[in-house]
Amino acid sequence: MLHDTIAAIATPIGEGGLAVIRLSGANAFAIAGKCFSPAGKSSVKPSAALTHTIQFGKIVRDGNVIDEVLLAVLRAPRTFTREDTVEISCHGGILPAKLVLDTVLAAGARLAEPGEFTKRAFLNGRIDLAQAEAVADLIHSRTELALAAANEQLAGKLSQRINQVRDDLMLTLAHVEAHIDFPDEDIAPDTKDKLLERLEAGIVFMDQLLRTANEGQILRRGIRAAIVGRPNAGKSSLLNQLLGRARAIVSHIPGTTRDTIEETANIRGIPVVFIDTAGLREAHDEIEREGIRRSRESLAQAELILHVLDASEPLTAADENYLAEFAGKKRILVRNKTDLPVKLELPAASDVPIVDVCCTGGQGIEALKDAIQKLVWAGELKAEMLQVTINSRHQDALNRARFSARAATDALRADATLELVAMDLHIAAKAVGEIVGKTTTEDLLDKIFSSFCLGK
């Protein structure tokens, strides 16, 4: 498939100022040349153009002008895929982009599969597998912290450290296999100590990386926070304050929210999906019953509960039931309406944060954001942490590598058969290599790149 020339729309589908159609492959210039008619004295056909230049002209099919375009010529290997590349900028809109794409496909290009441009960049050695995943993270970033973490991984910060631990495992394996080849010679005590020291250092490093898995997943996909409480406690008002806009209808009439509302907000650099749920009470009609059912589903999926209580009223039996129901969840108790005389007394619960807010005036909202960050992020947000935040695939590979590295260490320390030590080291090095693509399978590559969008 690497011998094909692929094409796809590289910009979002819809109306806009510009759309970009990207071609990559050995015949990119020839195919683009069939469709492109230069305009003006300085413009030339793609095959005659210098690399990294822009040509002005028109895309023509069967003698009909499709659109007036700018065509970028990028010669290998100084391209994203390390292949000859053409990028055609046409007018934005569904029809112009589609017709330009149809024209280059009719001229001999093949429609790219999801993520195929990035896959070619990996297969051609332009980036490794961890950097390829960072491209998708970059596109899907919802906060500046997530963007910074993706940029660090794309720059190769994580790959450098992964390659170092793999090199150490391979070096240790080489020493062990050398002694297997000469069974009459035992490993000298000082050499054995150095091998064990290197293995222990590798395990410590893997432990450090594994501790970033939770933060990495939070940055990539965010967390789900359900706003719950009895009707008219101020749940919708709290959602509006956290979002900074009037998203939910607010009324003094209980039961206004009859369905779940989901919106994402940037809370101290963390993407948080807030879910405003219908007030949990005995339903009065079929519609409210369905809203409460959906609220229960959202609660089951939520990783954080914001339990809103009315500070102007004494604790009710319903409040006590909800306090007990959500006791096993990570939660924050939010006392709303603190601008009114406070009548609410909460039972002592030292492990549960309590934040006082007034949703009508916005008091306490910043303190609530601080409490959310503190509860979901382990420790302080530091720039150096963003360099090595791993994803779930990395976590699985590192767990397997750590298990085998520990087994090899224990076997070497116990003077076990060196063949067993070598086998565990092989497994550990292979697992670590999966992260950057040094050892991989076609199924794994298909799984990773199939989640990318077309044109990337």
Sequence ranges of the domains in the chain:
6-128, 140-211+388-437, 224-376
Q: Out of 3.40.47.10, 3.60.20.10, 3.40.50.300, 3.40.640.10, which CATH number does the structure's domain 224-376 have?
A: 3.40.50.300
Mean pLDDT of 183-200: 80
Are the C-beta atoms of 49 and 84 separated by less than 8 Å? no
What is the bridge-based pairing of β-strands 223-228 and 18-24? Answer: unpaired
- Tell me the C-alpha distance between 167 and 432, whole Å: 10
User: Shortest CA distance to 246 belongs to which of 362, 137, 163?
Assistant: 362
Cα–Cα separations (whole angstroms), residue 111 to 14, 23, 342: 19, 9, 64
Fold topology of 6-128: Gyrase A; domain 2 (3.30.1360)
In this predicted structure, the answer to whether residue 256 has a pLDDT above a threshold of 60 is no
Region 359-375: mean pLDDT is 88
Average pLDDT over residues 303-328: 85
- Between residues 269 and 161, the one the model is more confident about: 161
Q: How high is the pLDDT of residue 380?
A: 53
CATH topology of domain 140-211+388-437: Four Helix Bundle (Hemerythrin (Met), subunit A) (1.20.120)
Per-residue pLDDT at 405: 94
Q: Are strands 110-111 and 223-228 parallel, antiparallel or unpaired?
A: unpaired
DSSP code per residue over 243-260: HTS--S---SSTT---S-
> Which tokens belong to 396?
């699985």
pLDDT (mean) for 388-396: 83
* Mean pLDDT on 6-12: 92
Regarding predicted confidence, which is higher, 249 or 96?
Answer: 96
More reliable by pLDDT, 251 or 243: 243
pLDDT band of 288, cuts 50, 70, 90: low
pTM for the model: 0.74
pLDDT tier at 292, thresholds 50, 70, 90: low
DSSP 363: B
pLDDT of 60 reads 94
pLDDT at 90 over 80: yes
Is the pLDDT reported for residue 249 higher than 80? Answer: no
Given pLDDT bands bounded at 50, 70 and 90, which one contains residue 452? confident
Q: Supply the Cα-derived Rg of the chain in whole angstroms.
A: 29
CA 350 to chain centroid, in Å, comes to: 34
Residue type, 346: L
Band (71; pLDDT cuts 50, 70, 90):
very high
pLDDT of residue 397: 93
CB 322 within 8 A of CB 306: no
pLDDT for position 68? 95
> What pLDDT is attached to residue 218?
76
pLDDT > 70 fraction of the chain, expressed in percent and rounded: 88
Q: Band of the pLDDT at 51, cuts 50, 70, 90?
A: very high
What rounded mean pLDDT belongs to the chain? 84
Residue 334 near residue 242, CB atoms below 8 Å: no
Which pLDDT belongs to residue 255?
47
Between residues 267 and 184, the one the model is more confident about: 267
Question: Would you say 259 and 278 are in contact if contact means Cβ atoms under 8 Å apart?
Answer: yes
**Mean per-residue pLDDT, 255-276:** 74
> For residue 402, is pLDDT > 60?
yes
CA distance 244 to 261: 15
pLDDT, residue 236, reads: 82
Residue 76 has pLDDT above 80, yes or no: yes
**What is the distance between the alpha carbons of residues 244 and 294, in angstroms, rounded to a whole number?**
25
